[in-house]
Every structure is written in structure tokens, then in C-alpha cells.
């Protein structure tokens, strides 16, 4: 007795979802037909699932290997579906382990490659271009990495303009606190009235650690300057409908001096106590 068949719409949805999990189109169709019947001969299944006859054995071998079908030995070989509540979890578990193993191998290979590439990069950059002191970075992860690296090397002074959206600020609370603890003078200017409760809390933590904070109605940009020699500016693209940030990373004393002068001007006009406002 045949099981109840899914409607055409349901069949198409199931078919697409099985493909999203990693089955190909022929495998997904064949499994869905097997799900609706107790067992099939290979060529019978090919006709029902609209799989070319010359392809059906390859498809069935793959379904058996992936755990979606089983072979029933009778006078002739028959194929049956493995129940979905067994097939899907086991298949996903095997894929997870395979992906984890692949990522582990890639990570191992990348570790070895990194040193070689960095050596080549250092040699290639040795000539020094005309704008080596400026770099444009669009990736948020790379921006955060540049920020942390520069702040970790700061020895005397850290200045920052902080403004919304705070979720994408190049700001790492722990890094700032560590800089403050090793004697770096840390000063922040934040825009008044823009802080939520979570950011108020970490600014209070900053102040308790010795970070000086002032607030002002508006700062011109996101900015961080370290030791009067390097820093970054985060500029929003004014053309796109969805805000997109580009970081300008600089290592130039003249530019750092100009940015510090801008900061000092705003610092004089700002009011104290942002963390307690």
C-alpha cells in the first residue's frame, strides 16, 4: 500500500529544501519518491522521479552513501527510504564533522602560509610607495584589527571621537582599559543624548578606571589618535542608502597633529561627566 503523496507544491518545497541541505536535484527527487512508497526497483524509481535511466544507479549509490536510502535484497535489488528522522540528523552530523575536519586542515595550512606570505609582503613593501602612510579599509573586522594593534602599541596618549552607531565603533573596551592601566592618558568625547544604558555602563567603567570623558552635541566623525603619530578615521559613505563605513588608517605625524588639534578644540568646548549623565 502506497503512502499518501505530497501535493505538487509541497513536493517542490521539500525538493528545494533537500537541495539546500546538500542533495542534488536528482537525489532530492528520488528520495521524495522513495519516502512515498515502501520500495522500488531502480528503473521504476527512475521513471517516477524523472531521473535519466543511465543516472539512476549513480543517484541511488549516492543516496545510500549519504544515509537516505537502503538496499533491500530480494530476488531483485530493491531500494527503500531511510526514515527522515534518522536520515536527516545523521546526514547533518556527518557533514558537520566533515566541515570541521576541512576547516581544521585549512586553518593548519593557513598558519603555515601566513608566515611565508608575511615575509613576501614585507619584502614587497620594502620599497615604500608615496602613500604608504595612508590605508583605506572597508572590512569591519580588519578595521577592528588595525585599531587594536595600534592601541596595543600606544605608550603616552589615546584620543577618541565616539558617535553612533556605536555597534560598529572601532572601540574595544578591554583594550582601552588596558592602555589606561599601563599609564596611557585616555580621553574620549561622545555625542550627548545618544548613549543607551549599556554604553552608559561601560563609560562609567572607563571613568572609574581613569579614562577622561566629555560630551558634546556633535562630533565631526569617528576618530582615534594614538601618541600623536597614528590613528584612524571612520567615514560614512554619503551616497549609499544603507550606511557603509570606510576607515582611513594613517601613520603620519603631521596628520596626527592636525587631528589632535581638532580634538583639543572640541575638548575645550565639551562638558565633563558623560558616563554619569
pLDDT of residue 76: 81
Fold of 8-88: Arc Repressor Mutant, subunit A (1.10.10)
Of 276 and 34, which is predicted with more confidence?
34
Mean pLDDT of 58-81: 88
pLDDT of amino acid 132: 65
Give the domain ranges of the chain. Answer: 8-88, 134-276
Q: What CATH number has the domain spanning 134-276?
A: 3.30.870.10
Q: What does the pLDDT read at residue 174?
A: 79
Q: Report how far apart the first and last C-alpha atoms of the chain are (Å, whole number).
A: 74
Q: Is 267 a residue whose pLDDT tops 90?
A: yes
Look at residue 130 and tell me whether its pLDDT is greater than 60.
no
The yes-or-no verdict on residue 275 having pLDDT over 50 is no
**pLDDT of 114 higher than 50:** yes
d(CA 16, CA 166): 39
Per-range mean pLDDT, top range of 35-44, 129-138, 241-250 = 35-44
Residue 1 predicted with pLDDT over 50:
no
| pLDDT confidence tier of residue 168, bands split at 50, 70 and 90 | very low
**Cα-atom radius of gyration of the chain, to the nearest Å?**
30
pTM above 0.75, yes or no: no
What is the rounded average pLDDT of the residues 171-191? 85
Task: Name the residue with higher pLDDT: 55 or 133.
Answer: 55
By percentage, how much of the chain surpasses pLDDT 70? 82
- pLDDT score, position 125: 62
- Torsion sign, CA atoms 182, 185, 189, 193: positive
**C-alpha cell at position 109:** 595550512
Task: Provide the grid cell at 1.
Answer: 500500500
- List the alpha helices (DSSP H) in 125-230: 140-153, 173-181, 197-209
d(CA 223, CA 163): 9
Is the pLDDT at 226 greater than 60? The verdict is yes
Lowest mean pLDDT among 6-15, 212-221, 255-264: 6-15
Helix (H) or strand (E) holding 84: helix 84-124
Over the chain, what is the mean pLDDT?
Answer: 81
pLDDT in tens, 16-33: 888 888 889 999 989 988
Vertex 256, ends 274 and 186: CA angle to 5°?
30
Amino acid at each position: 500500500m502506497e503512502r499518501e503523496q505530497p501535493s505538487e507544491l509541497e513536493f517542490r518545497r521539500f525538493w528545494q529544501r533537500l537541495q539546500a541541505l546538500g542533495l542534488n536535484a536528482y537525489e532530492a527527487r528520488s528520495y521524495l519518491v522513495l519516502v512515498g512508497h515502501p520500495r522500488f526497483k531502480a528503473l521504476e524509481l527512475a521513471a517516477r522521479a524523472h531521473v535519466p535511466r543511465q543516472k539512476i544507479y549513480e543517484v541511488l549509490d549516492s543516496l545510500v552513501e549519504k544515509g537516505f536510502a537502503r538496499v533491500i535484497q530480494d530476488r531483485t535489488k530493491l531500494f527503500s527510504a531511510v526514515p527522515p528522522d534518522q536520515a536527516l540528523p545523521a546526514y547533518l552530523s556527518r557533514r558537520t564533522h566533515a566541515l570541521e575536519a576541512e576547516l581544521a586542515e585549512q586553518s593548519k595550512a593557513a598558519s603555515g602560509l601566513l608566515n611565508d606570505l608575511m615575509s613576501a609582503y614585507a619584502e614587497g613593501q620594502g620599497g615604500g610607495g608615496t602613500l604608504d602612510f595612508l590605508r583605506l579599509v572597508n572590512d569591519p573586522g580588519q578595521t577592528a584589527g588595525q585599531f587594536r594593534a595600534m592601541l596595543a602599541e600606544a605608550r603616552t596618549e589615546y584620543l577618541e571621537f565616539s558617535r553612533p552607531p556605536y555597534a560598529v565603533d572601532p572601540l574595544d573596551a578591554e583594550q582601552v582599559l588596558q592602555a589606561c592601566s599601563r599609564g596611557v592618558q585616555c580621553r574620549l568625547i561622545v555625542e550627548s543624548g545618544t548613549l543607551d544604558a549599556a554604553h552608559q555602563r561601560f563609560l562609567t567603567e572607563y571613568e572609574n578606571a581613569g579614562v577622561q570623558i566629555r560630551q558634546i552635541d556633535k562630533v565631526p566623525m569617528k576618530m582615534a589618535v594614538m601618541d600623536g603619530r597614528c590613528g584612524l578615521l571612520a567615514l560614512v559613505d554619503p551616497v549609499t542608502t544603507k550606511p557603509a563605513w570606510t576607515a582611513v588608517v594613517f601613520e603620519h605625524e603631521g596628520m596626527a597633529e592636525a587631528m589632535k588639534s581638532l580634538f583639543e578644540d572640541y575638548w575645550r568646548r565639551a562638558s565633563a561627566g558623560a558616563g554619569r549623565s
